[in-house]
Amino acid sequence: MADSAGSGDWTEPGLFTVAPGVHRIPLPLPNDGLRAVNVYAIESGDDLVLIDAGWALAETGGLLDAALDQIGRNSTEITRCLVTHVHRDHYTMAVILRRRFGTHVALGIGDRPSLTVAAEGGHTNMTEHVRRMKRAGAEPVIRALHAAYGTAPPEREDVWEMPDEWLKDQAVIALGGRELRAVATPGHTQGHMVFADIEHNLLFAGDHVLPRITPSVGFETVMGELPLGDYLRSLRLTLDLPDMRLLPAHGAVTDTTHARVHALLAHHEDRLNACLDQVQAGAHTAYEVALALPWTRHARRFSELDPFNQMLAVLEIGVHLDLLVAQGRLARTAAGELMTYALPGPAAS
């Protein structure tokens, strides 16, 4: 059954049926080139279950209810939110729904460290991300971020509460008429989960597999040791599942997951080789490598990116370089806060 949005703009507000009893609801993202996040509403008998919940904006609740009204439902009937990962555009509206209606919120246990920091007030001002930018030698980007956002009003920070349930890998979630398997797919965040409805050929993929872009790796409050290595392993794990329809958090529904997974694996291999080439050509920091490479599928120059996306670019190059070090293809040296990279020297005899 095709997404009733057809070939139109996937960010268009409304409710779009993607399978019997399963509906895609795009909700808004502020100040973001993606413009929307897909929330999926599953009709489960008398219950209504959401996969992801959106960003806790003033308008989100009204837009969600307007969409649900098309199937004669409303937010009071949402009994459970299964959240793919802890990023603001997926998790925070779930907290609001719980406060209003007692909705049960479930999240992958790997996101516990990042959520703990956020709940303690450590999420503001992107302290950890600025530290990583200094590690990458990206002082110009730090200055641009301060210029762009330093006087902006603080975002709502009272929404970082613990879930009702921590999901573990391979947890089985029984819904009326269907069964979802929670599959841990760390990389984009440590606790990222996809939800597989194998019987009905549906993969609720969150940000793990996106149809047109590559998800950021490295933008997380508390990262694993090698997040890109985790992400690549998680992509290969997805190939062990049946080739289901891809229901992504950003982008249109597509009929195959595996084809996109293969493309993402190939992209990151190309990117690793491109990073290696730039170090061989004389770049020594993640910032210098990021400056030299093209960005987005439109091959934009680094200088064409806004400060926030420049930060994402530098952080992503950092995790690529660190994986190359782990693979023995580069060597890394610390000079105070700064990390520099070079081709490995000859092995000692």
pLDDT digits (tens, 9 = 90+) for 181-227: 999 999 999 999 999 999 999 999 999 999 999 999 988 889 999 99
pLDDT at 127 over 50: yes
Residue in the block written with tokens 């956002």: 149
The domains of the chain, with CATH numbers, are 16-126+162-256 (3.60.15.10)
Q: What is the pLDDT of residue 151?
A: 52
Q: What is the pLDDT of residue 103?
A: 98
User: Taking the model in full, what pTM does it have?
Assistant: 0.93
CB contact burial 307-341 (16+ within 10 A = b; e otherwise): bbbbbbbbbbbbbbbbbbeeeebbeeeeeeebbbb
pLDDT digits (tens, 9 = 90+) for 293-307: 999 888 999 999 999
